[in-house]
């Protein structure tokens, strides 16, 4: 199936099994050379794509990357730019990424910045990459100060989600992706929560129709949000309305602080799960969210094996890290909270006592 993403630069997200041959047509007719970026350990997943491009007469530049989050550094971007420069890449050339969200973030950033932008087609091979990272055009690198602090909005020319690739994904990585899936359920599509709660075993089975339906629904949530607010400006208006693209950042303010505190050894989706438990409690304490919906967060997340507690870094360290979150304005922290199921809004400048109390809840106190 295909989900069409409208807007100034429309593209399709293809979801299915054995759909790797959909990459080539997404590149368009004029492309002559393609840089394929993939984690070195996933060469076997990149090879069929590389072979297809080669058979079509395109010159392929292979750019193997470090594993996972290790790819999202300035040094890796510089190395990729140097390789493109050496190969003489022009604006009739393109980038293809094959890998998880770290790869699509990095490869998307390289595509966004080389010659101020060349086309990118993403082939996500993790659940998280399919339902979130590859779609919507956010690209990013980490810096010493925090997560995704350098990046750009660069919409892909297309996204190809081959569900068959999930067959080799380690179980814990699949579960991590469900953190973003459940996020989509809370911010926009409660049917996702029902599906996960009704059949948690199906949700973590890469071959199940339940998981395919969760992918489809989550991509649709993301597409609907980004089409309305690609560059994440809607939430600036304030006033308690829908926060636009910032809604997709539900749970992420604390999640990114934890990831940094843990030196990026915790999976992103796991951190998002904990971050949602934190922010649900913050919303409950500040009178936005009812007790049952707040409690439902930990219940649904735990049902698929996601963590719901974090007892690592001290409050002060996490608070300092949250200050560089992109939703912050000056000294004011801003969080996406829920007024109820599928009713996201921004909570700006919550009281210190409420933040500390939500932190204690997150620690399991």
Ligand X SMILES: O=C(O)C(=O)C[C@@H](O)[C@H](O)[C@H](O)COP(=O)(O)O
Ligand Y SMILES: NC(=O)c1ccc[n+]([C@@H]2O[C@H](COP(=O)([O-])OP(=O)(O)OC[C@H]3O[C@@H](n4cnc5c(N)ncnc54)[C@H](O)[C@@H]3O)[C@@H](O)[C@H]2O)c1
Contacting positions for ligand Y (CB under 6 A): 39, 41-42, 45, 67-69, 72, 99-103, 105, 125-126, 128-129, 132-133, 136, 138, 148, 165, 168-169, 173, 176, 268-269
Which helix (DSSP H) or strand (DSSP E) does residue 353 occupy? helix 352-363
Is 326 a known active-site residue?
Answer: no
Any residues with CB less than 8 A from the CB of 302 and at least 6 apart, and which? Answer: 308
Contact indicator for 15, 219 with CB cutoff of 8 Å: yes
Active-site residue, 180 included: yes
Tokens 């067959």 sit on residue:
167
Number of residues that bind ligand X (CB under 6 A): 11
Of the candidate spans 42-50, 108-116, 156-164, 242-250, the one that interacts with ligand X by CB under 6 A turns out to be 242-250
**Residue 347: which H helix or E strand, with range?**
strand 344-348
Can you tell me the distance from the alpha carbon of 181 to that of 24, in angstroms, rounded to the nearest whole number? 28
| CA 54 distance to own-chain centroid | 30
Task: Give the Cα separation of 259 and 275 in Å (integer).
Answer: 10
148 is catalytic: no
The binder of 307, among ligand Y, ligand X, none, by C-beta within 5 to 8 A per type, is: none
Question: Would you say 319 and 355 are in contact if contact means Cβ atoms under 8 Å apart?
Answer: yes
Give the sign of the dihedral formed by CA 247, CA 259, CA 42, CA 73: positive
248 lines the binding site for ligand X (CB under 6 A)? yes
Active site residue 329: no
Site mask for ligand X (CB under 6 A), range 142-161, x = bound: ------x-------------
Q: Is 259 annotated as a binding residue?
A: no
What's the full length of the chain, in residues?
365
* Stretch of 81-89, 191-199, 241-249, 356-364 contacting ligand X, by CB under 6 A: 241-249
- Which C-beta is closer to ligand X: that of 34 or that of 196? 196
360 is in an annotated binding site: no
Which residues are known to be catalytic?
116, 138, 180, 222, 232, 245, 249, 252, 256, 268
Residues that bind ligand X (CB under 6 A): 132, 136, 138, 140, 148, 180, 245, 248-249, 252, 326
């Amino acid at each position: 199936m295909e989900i069409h993403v409208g807007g100034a630069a429309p593209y399709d997200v293809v979801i299915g099994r054995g759909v790797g041959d959909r990459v080539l047509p997404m590149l368009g007719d004029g492309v002559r050379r393609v840089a394929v970026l993939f984690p070195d350990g996933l060469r076997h997943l990149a090879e069929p794509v590389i072979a297809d491009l080669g058979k079509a007469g395109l010159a392929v530049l292979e750019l193997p990357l470090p594993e996972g989050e290790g790819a999202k550094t300035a040094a890796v971007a510089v190395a990729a730019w140097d390789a493109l420069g050496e190969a003489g890449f022009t604006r009739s050339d393109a980038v293809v990424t094959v890998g998880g969200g770290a790869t699509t973030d990095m490869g998307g950033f390289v595509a966004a910045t080389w010659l101020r932008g060349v086309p990118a087609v993403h082939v996500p091979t993790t659940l998280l990459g399919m339902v979130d990272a590859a779609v919507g055009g956010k690209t990013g690198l980490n810096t010493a100060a925090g997560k995704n602090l350098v990046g750009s909005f660069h919409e892909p020319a297309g996204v190809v989600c081959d569900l068959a690739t999930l067959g080799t994904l380690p179980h814990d990585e699949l579960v991590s992706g469900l953190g973003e899936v459940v996020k989509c359920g809370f911010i926009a599509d409660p049917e996702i929560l029902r599906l996960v709660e009704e059949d948690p075993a199906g949700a973590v089975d890469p071959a199940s129709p339940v998981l395919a339906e969760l992918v489809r629904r989550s991509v649709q949530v993301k597409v609907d949000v980004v089409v309305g607010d690609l560059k994440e400006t809607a939430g600036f208006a304030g006033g308690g309305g829908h926060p636009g693209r910032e809604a997709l950042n539900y749970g992420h303010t604390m999640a990114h602080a934890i990831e940094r505190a843990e030196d990026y050894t915790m999976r992103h989706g796991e951190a998002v799960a904990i971050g949602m438990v934190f922010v649900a409690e913050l919303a409950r304490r500040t009178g936005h969210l009812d007790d049952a919906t707040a409690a439902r967060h930990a219940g649904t997340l735990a049902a698929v094996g996601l963590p719901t507690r974090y007892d690592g870094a001290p409050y002060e360290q996490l608070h300092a890290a949250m200050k560089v979150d992109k939703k912050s304005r000056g000294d004011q922290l801003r969080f996406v909270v829920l007024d109820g199921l599928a009713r996201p809004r921004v909570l700006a400048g919550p009281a210190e006592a409420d933040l500390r109390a939500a932190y204690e809840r997150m620690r399991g106190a």
